[in-house]
Amino acid sequence: MPASRRGSGSFTLLTGQTIAIHTRTQDEEDLPHATKKTMADHLRKYESLFTLTPQRMRMIVEAFTETLELGLNKPNQIVPMIPTFVFGWPTGQEKGDFLALDLGGTNLRVCLVTLQGDGKFEISQTKYRLTEEQKQEDGQKLFDFCAECLNTFVETNTGEGEGQLKPGQSLPLGFTFSYPCSQERIDHGELIRWTKGFGAGNTEGRDVAEMFKQSLEKFQLPIKLTALINDTTGTLIASHYVNPKTKIAVIFGTGCNAAYMEHVKDIAKMEHLGIDPGADMAINCEWGAFDSFEHEHLPRTKYDIIVDDTSNKPGEQAFEKLISGRYLGEILRLVLCELIDEGVLFLGQNTYKLEKPYCFDTAFLSLMESDPTDELLMIIGIFTHFFALETTLAERQFFRALAKLIGRRAARLSSCGIAAIVSKMGYLEEGCSVGADGSLYNKYPGFADRVHEGLQDIFGDKGRNIVTYHAEDGSGVGSAIIAAMTKHRKDAGLYVNV
């Protein structure tokens, strides 16, 4: 019996696009479709490929913990465990006006942050979309664009009113540059490699803080670059500013990464710098690189291998490629393409739209998982609107189950990373809060619950002591707090300039 298709309407995607759902009268058995049984058989196969057992997770955590130690002991490791020169926690009393520039994976954001003390702040901000071309063209041009946006922001926000920049007011700037950079001091950072699909030329191996300063000079802006920070470090500090129980920060967005506070005495590779061993310093783990090149520990399916081989950086960011928002949609698309090639899905229909790499947005996975209708109308909408494909209920149930497998694997692997830091730092007994941010964490239904479930699979009941929560805006507020902390250290003659 054909499924009834009552209820036409429209849905708005997380991306802002609206998709219309049309009521159809046509019998869905008109086209040759896979039977319910075929789809169930296939699902079983993918279940075994994408499911992580607690035992396997514990093995990953063990290898991960060793990798973190290695990165702290020796320079230039695959997981580089980058010392950030952010010393200790904020007091919560940091105050003043700061600019923050955030070059993330998708957007460029400029913020004016007013820190009011007592963990309070105000923020006004403007977002600029980055084009694919800008991500690939010459790096200096990219920084020129950043400076131009900053210039526009300063011009539009200068005035005599409340929360505005005063004419000629010189401001410290925290620059959140969310790519792996090795730092010798807080206002320096040599780009180790681009991630998240960026490939701007003449930038890897260079000091991006210096490049950005050159761009700033072109606009003669009254701005001083005070700190170059990673989004995870910003998130760590911003989250601690408002919730002092926070010990770890994680980002699950276009990319994925974590930061935490380490004892300087336990960072063996920094010993020669003679920094007070009693001090603490935030470490930007750059854990997205875990298991890169060697691929010894992570369970990669053939779809993950294709994603890796066809990326602009084969071999790199192995952990990130199984988890982050940039890749999950592509993994699902590759499974669908395999089933098309095997003649299981969409027989007699034109599938060219679905065959385009990266056309299947990770937002579709979250929409598919959260479709509230029995008929899975949202999934009908996605497939008809974006790919001009007809689907049966059995197929849609299969797509939803597949999205769940891929989303759940990403969340469980994320718990392995968190568990590795928890084990390394001995936080399990006393427990800790983990500030988390990024589109996957914030928008993917059940992601946080699955991370928590994963932590319990790894640690048993004690896993409940580790709680993630939606973090404060690290790239804006965090960056401003770090700029304030740095200014304070400099004023007190404590600036570490090595």
Contact 87, 229 (CB under 8 A): no
Question: Is-catalytic flag, 170?
Answer: no
89 in helix, strand or coil? coil
* H or E stretch covering 55: helix 54-73
CB atoms within 10 A of CB 361: 20
Give contact residues for ligand BGC (rule: CB under 6 A). Answer: 104-105, 178-180, 195-196, 230-232, 251, 253, 255-257, 286, 288, 320
- The token pair that represents 155 in the structure block: 């011009």
Q: What is the DSSP letter of 198?
A: -
Nearer to ligand BGC, 180 or 463 (CB): 180
- The token pair that represents 96 in the structure block: 């003043």
Q: Which residue has the tokens 């210096």?
A: 210
Q: Cα separations (Å) of 298 from 180, 191, 226, 458?
A: 21, 26, 38, 16
Nearer to ligand BGC, 222 or 315 (CB): 315
Measured in degrees and rounded to the nearest 5, phi and psi for residue 124 equal -125, 145
Q: Which amino acid is located at 495 in the chain? A: Y
Catalytic residue among 109, 193, 409, 450: 193
Q: Whole-number minimum distance, CB 62 to ligand BGC, in Å? A: 23
Contact 447, 440 (CB under 8 A): yes
Nearer to ligand BGC, 46 or 194 (CB): 194
d(CA 229, CA 491): 20
Catalytic residue among 207, 231, 291, 304: 231
Alpha helices (H) in 168-301, listed in sequence order: 208-219, 231-242
How big, in percent rounded to 5, are the helix, strand and coil portions of the chain? 45, 20, 35
d(CA 467, CA 456): 11
d(CA 360, CA 375): 21
Q: What is the DSSP letter of 170?
A: -
d(CA 324, CA 196): 9
Contact 173, 223 (CB under 8 A): yes
- The token pair that represents 329 in the structure block: 């949609």
Query: DSSP states of 260-297 as a string?
Result: EEEEGGG-GGGGGG---TT-EEEEE--GGGTTTTT--S
Question: Is-catalytic flag, 178?
Answer: yes
| Phi-psi sector, 213: left (phi>0), alpha (psi -120 to 50), beta | alpha
Nearer to ligand BGC, 286 or 369 (CB): 286
d(CA 485, CA 187): 13
| Phi-psi sector, 30: left (phi>0), alpha (psi -120 to 50), beta | alpha
Question: Is-catalytic flag, 124?
Answer: no
Catalytic positions, written as ranges: 178, 193, 231
